[in-house]
Amino acid sequence: MKFLSTNLSYPEKAKQDSVQGTVYITFIIEKDGSITHTDILRGIDPLLDEEALRVIHLMPAWIPGELKGNKVRVRFTIPIQFKLK
């Protein structure tokens, strides 16, 4: 979450249009920790959806899931909130 908050930028056009909400992104964490198969589960606006996907693609490798001592692929869904102050 810290990575998201420091790397997420609010698109200027979305600010001007006062677009707010939560984008839900789903992806798979592979056995090596890389992120693949990113998809928008629920979006709000194309500008915010693109920004959320951009930041997910920038994320460093995750710690992969384990099942009975073996590394496994895991599907993960994360909400990314865009809120104007």
Model confidence band, residue 5 (pLDDT cutoffs 50, 70, 90) = confident
Structural domains in the chain, CATH included, are 2-82 (3.30.2420.10)
Select from 48, 55, 50 the least CA-distant residue to 15: 48
pTM of the entire structure?
0.87
Separation of alpha carbons 18 and 27, rounded Å = 28
Percent of the chain with pLDDT over 90: 91
Supply the pLDDT for residue 4: 87
Residue whose tokens read 């809120």: 83
Proportion of the chain above pLDDT 70, given as a percent: 100
d(CA 78, CA 1): 10
Residue 2 has pLDDT above 90, yes or no: no
Mean pLDDT of the region 60-74: 95
- Measured CA to CA, the distance from residue 52 to residue 57 in angstroms comes to 9
Instruction: Count CA atoms closer than 13 A to 81's CA, side-chain side.
Output: 4
The predicted structure's pLDDT at residue 1: 80
